[in-house]
Structure 1
Amino acid sequence: MRTKRVQIRKFMLIDSAYKSRILRGDKVTTIRYGDYEVTPGSEIYLVITPSDTAIAKVRVTGVERKKVAELTNEEARLDGFSNIRELLRELNKIYGELYGDDEVTVIGFEVIKRFDDGIPLKWLKGLNYREPAEIARLYLENREKLNLNRETDFIMRRIYNEGLGKAVRTFGPKKVQNALFTTHHRLYASGIL
């Protein structure tokens, strides 16, 4: 039997059904079919699907490969389920029928930063995995040097002072995205990033 090998570098996709469990701290692991490579201690974004929105930045606390038959009730509980039966039912729904000798990777994590408004994954990618709040802060610290237009200035101030969600509600997602990408590009061209 051949298992798939997956490398996790910047983000990990997770179903939106688990969002509240993760943010409450009831789900501190994810169990994936196959061989997942991720380094304990690394910081990655948790991105919910199908919206492809980052809800948190997490630190990987552990990675363990094991067979399905070796999973325990404690691992089920850490994954947000009542018992192993409930966990296996969910894994079978996601991956199709799993057998006792199939390999899974148990990835432990702790939330280190929540994004109450969420950050679209395509924005994170476009910002080279820099958060909008960081781009806004760097903009304000280097405002005179960057010399951006008034609308971009207003948007960056709104993100910095009131958060991404408020900026999007005020200016609309397209204008906010354009302002962030323009500012990021200018910060990079100026050698600040």
Structure 2
Amino acid sequence: MLINSSYKSRILRGDKVATIRYGEYEAKPGSEVYLVITPSDTAVAKVRITRVEKKKVRELTTEDAKLDGFSDVKELLRELNRIYGELYGDDEVTIIGFEVIKRFEDGIPLKWLKGMNYREPVEIARLYLENREKVNLSREADFVLRRIYNEGLGKAVRTFGPKRVQETLLKAYHALYAAGVI
């Protein structure tokens, strides 16, 4: 689920637990999705969809606005109009409620998640360490994956650089896949 970076801190603090989207938005309660901030396309959390409700713009309430992190409907409508252009009373919106179930302190680039079939870097590192005898990677790759597992993705990226970390994660993912681990 894409969210503008200006909402990141409100979401991670729990002040914003819903997003209101223009038109029909496909989401199912109970499903888990990555919360990706734009324009950096970085996953900052995994969220569980708690509710999906369709309404006309004129039916939006103060409660809807507060769940979306706004003080009242007027403030909410100003923001929706800024994002989508002028909305009218009969226009449909979808209210998507969510709860943060996992925060990613360092953020995970969306293209990395896609490249690993939406497996998180720490999970890839853990699976590699648990299955090293089945997977033949270099000492260097072993070192990078240990750093990711023990100290986090951000520390590994600061130490080895993003390109090297991404390449190592992809190698590990493909080796684990080829070995039948994932």
TM-score of the aligned structures, taking structure 1 as reference length: 0.94
Q: 5+ unaligned residues in a row in structure 1: which ranges?
A: 1-11
- How far has the Cα of 1:147 moved from its partner? 1.6
Alignment of 1:116-131 (within 5 A): 116-131=105-120
- Give the Cα–Cα distance (whole angstroms) in 1 for the partners of residues 105 and 125 of structure 2: 17
Per-residue CA deviations over 1:22-47 (Å, capped at 9, x if unaligned) read: 00000000000010111100000000
Tell me, yes or no, if structure 1 residue 157 matches structure 2 residue 156.
Answer: no
- Return the offset for 1:100: 0.4
Residue in 2 that maps onto 1:148: 137
Partner residue in 2 for 1:27:
16
In 2, Cα distance between the equivalents of 1:68 and 1:151? 55
Share of identical aligned residues, percent?
A: 79
* 1:180 corresponding residue in structure 2: 169
Deviations 1:69-112 (A, max 9, x none): 00001110010001100000000000000000000000000000
Cα deviation for residue 145 of structure 1 reads: 1.4
SS of the residue corresponding to residue 108 of structure 1 reads: strand
TM-score, length of structure 2 as denominator length: 0.99
Alignment length (residue pairs): 182
* 2:97 matches 1:108: yes
Structure 1 segments of 4+ aligned residues over 3 angstroms from their partners? none
Q: Distance in 2 between matches of 1:37 and 1:109?
A: 14
Letter in 1 for 2:36: V
Q: CA RMSD in A?
A: 0.4
**Structure 2, unaligned stretches of length 5 or more?**
none
- Out of 63, 87, 104, the position equivalent to 1:74 is 63
Please, which of 22, 27, 44 is the counterpart of residue 33 of structure 2? Answer: 44
Q: Deviations over 1:101-139 (max 9, x none)?
A: 000000000000000100000000001000001000000
Provide the residue aligned with 1:14 in structure 2.
3
Please give the alpha-carbon distance, in whole angstroms, between the structure 1 residues aligned to 2:61 and 2:86: 18
Q: Secondary structure at the match of 2:25?
A: strand
